[in-house]
Structure 1
């Protein structure tokens, strides 16, 4: 329903999308219970479960190995949390990746002396794009009444062809761990849940305006588009459906295993993405869990570019 119903009209579908892993786990456990109880409804629910295969694959996927065709580039998308967990570590990591394009969220206006060979967009304290290639036409995407930009776009010329990169950072929920950590006190937990919902609903509605603005810019692009970033939204959400409209999810094409990218809470959350114009094919998609230098894991994707 999130593909059709905007949060400003009915935000509760978007709220349910946050609990999709729990809902699906409950669904599967019920089927198993009914199978062992010899209930005919188990088979009905098994067949109905086929409808959820693609939604499940947005969280956990096992794609086949892709063959490399034509020229390719390596793209890294990473919410660095402004280097608060180690600026030197962040810089060293980015340098070691030797990526063609690096798209950073919450970069805090950091300097990257080790990446002096990269061209970089102007610092705005939130979003940065760095590339080894020719960079032009950078533009912040934001509405007049918003303090933070919803996205940063720039055109990058690679091997004589121009591609538009859109680095997304939707408005954050601004939760602290203690705000979402439940304990044995039922009254306190009830108040926490109410406070969480009070924060979530207005943010969903704010996201709707940001998503519409970003989508307009994507639709008007004269070039093939690569969209990455921290969407602060899970798969199956309104934000996911509308920002991926007409694009391919690189994880669905080339990802393997879990796409969980935010690890600060002990709950599976995929909120970082790489989407591409359909003519650009993902060869690989990796959530790099080998480093914990932010509350997000870096997302790395190799893309096969359009050759004409």
Structure 2
């Protein structure tokens, strides 16, 4: 430190703060939000903290200063425990005659209130889904829009709430649905639904989860105007609700003996407590076959992945794609699966 200039000492101090915050964030998947709700807010910024530490590492490396070791060690610890934020490998795609595709998409009420400027956004969403032709479609923030026709799916289950505007979750399928239901979350319009789908000789349980929203504006300028203490308290309270909702879901899931696929908008990242609990020993389709950041939510300056498709070990993950179609504040994701032979 003595050999550093005054400016570099300040930079290294900031580097140390970001490194400590990133280290703390590695504890979050193991820390119930009900215990440390304020600390859990850090999970939203893990991607940002990783990118910042990567930049600090490059800065010191270019200057040939040993201070690069700090961020290098922290990033290495994160990689060992959680894997890479960015997947450098190319997307995996394996052809299999038993392949079928599952899509997850938060459609934001099919742009009912014109959040996105442009004509017929709802029709663009339908055309996109029809073109990509998933066999199973899981939708959050679904609304029975008068211009939306998804009748090219043979079967569906939807669970709606709301007085004036009906909204909720829906599952569409090209294969017969023999049983469906909802896991009600108290004091919210969010919930989890499920459908048991018969594909060939197998019955597959599809879950569609929509955990409590943080109601954070994706516009960074709007966030700057909001009182930081109030924001932290609100997000902390939301994370407590997400933990309770996750506990309700896991109790329901425990009673299911079918092969399982879990889709949903968790409103939280892969570094969160709720993600770790829901994932359990399941496969994350993005980690198995995706590439890049796997961004699923529109947030300025850095990528956010809060929508997931998880599968149990009975399925081979033969492909994954995160799309860039901007018809909602979320981006659709789709995985290609096949049932592995016993």
Map of 1:186 onto structure 2:
none
Q: 1:67 to 1:93 in 2, by over 3 A?
A: closer
Alpha-carbon distance in structure 2 between the residues aligned to 1:11 and 1:234: 15
Say yes or no: does 1:20 pair with 2:20: no
Say yes or no: does 1:79 pair with 2:106: yes
The worse-fitting range, judged by mean Cα deviation, of 255-264 and 152-161 is: 255-264
Map of 1:131 onto structure 2:
173
Does the CA-based 8 Å contact 2:209-2:265 persist in structure 1?
yes
SS at 1:258's partner residue?
Answer: coil
SS at 1:76's partner residue?
Answer: strand
Alpha-carbon distance in structure 1 between the residues aligned to 2:74 and 2:223: 33
Map of 2:189 onto structure 1:
148
Map of 2:21 onto structure 1:
none
Q: 1:301 to 1:212 in 2, by over 3 A?
A: same
1:271-294 Cα deviation digits (max 9, x unpaired): 1111100221211111110x2111
Does the CA-based 8 Å contact 2:216-2:223 persist in structure 1?
no
Task: Give the length in aligned residue pairs.
Answer: 300
Alpha-carbon distance in structure 2 between the residues aligned to 1:13 and 1:80: 30
Taking structure 2 as the reference length, the TM-score comes to: 0.80
Alpha-carbon distance in structure 2 between the residues aligned to 1:165 and 1:266: 33
Q: Which has the higher contact order (CA 8 A, sep 6+)?
A: 1
Map of 1:106 onto structure 2:
141
Cα shift at 1:201: 0.8
Alpha-carbon distance in structure 1 between the residues aligned to 2:154 and 2:334: 18
Taking structure 1 as the reference length, the TM-score comes to: 0.88
SS at 1:115's partner residue?
Answer: coil
Cα shift at 1:31: 2.5
Say yes or no: does 1:296 pair with 2:330: yes
Alignment gaps of 5+ in structure 2: 1-26, 161-166
Cα shift at 1:48: 4.5
Q: 1:236 to 1:182 in 2, by over 3 A?
A: closer
SS at 2:240's partner residue?
Answer: helix
Does the CA-based 8 Å contact 1:109-1:123 persist in structure 2?
no
Alignment gaps of 5+ in structure 1: 184-188
Does the CA-based 8 Å contact 1:260-1:287 persist in structure 2?
yes
Larger radius of gyration: 2
Q: Please tell me the root mean square deviation across aligned C-alpha atoms, in Å.
A: 2.4
